[in-house]
A and B are shown apart, each in its own frame.
Chain A
């Protein structure tokens, strides 16, 4: 079974794929903060979804790309990854 994607993982992806320095602790403790508040645009999120799909060899689908916040995103992504396991 896949380990769930953590806020640390997401922060590393935001850095690597979109060049954004985001504090994972802050992301975890501010559930209402949106990706846009961190400067992540839709292309940046698309790149993160692709990276996760490649990493886990699982199709995540299009829904995560429409997530507004990191919390919604991780919830959806981890549900998908668990399904695929």
Chain B
């Protein structure tokens, strides 16, 4: 792997010499472990793991049984004194399970004329605070408010009011964008109402957060912010969200310093997602934009590994 001439990224020639010296000092000892030994150990550990699962399952079953037993006993103790007379029995509150059934569902519910839908598979569901109030975290949401109703929407950017209509709200980190399809939406700042993005634009109901962010002026995230959003998504294991942020980065800010590496990350993530054509297009776009970049050879190798495919128009296969 340590081919001569490959860029190792080192700025210190002294350190490079030291690494080379350390490498030349090390002669790989003969690996004594055999495939048979590994297989034996593998079988043993697999068996141990199976046993652990079995014991865990049995323990869980035992716990559930005990809990069930405990609830039954508790219920019996709870009901018995009340059952002395019919009148007393009627006066006694319901058993715990009945109480739970009556109280369900727990937590506040949204008013009948309002509905909220999370459009992004990896977004965070909205939190219902009250019949007319919700809180949004990261994600793209569609909000419908009917019959002269109004809803208070708490977002990281502030309080938003929406009245009788359909709205798409995209929240990414601390930035919130609102598209008003119909109805009225306004920000509540210092007790004053500020209308949202007049004139109204047609909404893109299926649009993802970055696309909305790209559309909605003026609070558009910078290239660095998009790169950070992508990295944060990746850290949370949300690969599709990271891809969307990177797509937004490389299309919105093609000349930014983050765009080149963004394209490479995009190629890698698209491939990991199984979209080989999109991956190929990202790599191809990198080569088109940076024909003499320091990573050109790597990208060409990555393209070779992907094999042939349809031609690309930007990031999309034709």
Are chains A and B native binding partners rather than an unrelated pairing?
Answer: no
Residues of chain A at the chain B interface (Cβ within 8 Å)? none
Residues of chain B at the chain A interface (Cβ within 8 Å)? none
